[in-house]
Amino acid sequence: MSTLLVIAGPPGAGKSTVSSIASSRLSPSVLIRGDAFFRFLDRSAQKPWLPEAKDQNQTVIRASGAAAGQFAQGGYEAVFDGVMGPWFLPTFFEATGLNELHYAVLLPSVERCVQNVTIREGNRDDEPGTRYMHRQFEQARIDARHLVIEPSGTPEEVASGILSRYRQGAFAYGARDVT
């Protein structure tokens, strides 16, 4: 069985770029874009940051976790890219069916995240949501071993650092971590 590396963080943290690079350096690998699972929702979908979206979000998290787990169990080095806050991690982990996964959280400054989202989106419509999600990650109780605070260097260098820690087991998350 191969493993699952979750690269998480708020919008604009650089997850997608770093995840893509990391996945390209593993073999056989699969890159799972967590946001895609929210796009599967059709009619009556709620904005995921709204309180009334809790049940919807739990369903999406379980579905994405199950898919990620199947790829890892199928022999792939799976890299999951998503806004996977620690508040969702126990649900996601359980759905994977794995004994362990690896959880890395990119946490640049809020201003850097806002700038990245603005450049990517071409407008500031997502600034309030980006600030809100960044605050959620900052205030969450995340074990320091999972954090990559103010990632520096090129995306390639950040991916290299994450892969190095991943191979050392520094990001390991298992049943002992579920509270």
Helix intervals (H) in 97-154: 110-121, 127-139
The set of residues, in sequence order, having a beta carbon less than 8 Å from that of 124 and lying 6+ positions away, is 114, 118
Give me the pLDDT at residue 123, please.
57
Per cent of the chain over pLDDT 90 is: 84
Structural domains in the chain, sorted by start = 4-177 (3.40.50.300)
Peptide bond between residue 48 and the one before it cis (omega within 30 degrees of 0) = no
Give me the pLDDT at residue 49, please.
77
Tell me the per-residue pLDDT of 110-130, one tens digit each, with 9 for 90 and over: 999 999 998 875 555 688 889
Tell me the per-residue pLDDT of 65-100, one tens digit each, with 9 for 90 and over: 999 999 999 999 999 999 999 999 999 999 999 999
Phi-psi region of 123 (alpha: psi -120 to 50; beta: other; left: phi over 0): beta
